[in-house]
Amino acid sequence: MPGKYSLRILLLLALIFGTRLYSLAQTDPLERNLWYNEEKTAKIQIYKATDGKFYGKIVWLRVPNAEDGKPKVDKNNPDKNHVNDPLLGLVLLKGFKKDGEKGYEDGTIYDPKNGKTYSCKITNKGDLLDVRGYIGFSFIGRTTVWTKAD
């Protein structure tokens, strides 16, 4: 009888392990990691939303609180209704579509330091992301390099 139960446990473990591998194969490489911004002051989680596009939100801040001890807020937001929104949880990457194996385009990036939103494209380079924000044409812009945080 012990052999019968051992076989069941082995089959159950194989099923669980196989399901885990299948789910990893289905997620995009951007979603498998958290990413440090260039200054390493924030970690961003990138995820694929139900609309099939990629978004990224701040999930960690090196210094989460302002000098008054309260959570940092989006004080430079041009929309006065959002100047008190916390930076933790802020969605700063929006609407990216996958372009080939390593590219993501047609999205925007919001910079909470100045309250501006830029067109953006992302290139995945394994442990690095080239995040290029621009106005109008991508050759008129700036690239920052994000690193894998995990």
Mean residue pLDDT across the chain: 88
Structure tokens at 55: 């978004």
pLDDT category, 50, cuts 50, 70, 90?
very high
Residue 13 φ/ψ, nearest 5 degrees? -65, -40
Tell me: pLDDT of 91 over 50.
Answer: yes
Contact (Cβ atoms closer than 8 angstroms) between residue 117 and residue 110: yes
pLDDT category, 9, cuts 50, 70, 90?
low
Percent of the chain scored above 70 by pLDDT?
83
pTM attached to this predicted model: 0.81
Structure tokens at 53: 């596009």
Tell me: pLDDT of 111 over 50.
Answer: yes
Query: For 34-51, what is the mean pLDDT?
Result: 97
Tell me: pLDDT of 26 over 90.
Answer: no
Distance CA 92, CA 84 (A): 16
Tell me: pLDDT of 11 over 80.
Answer: no
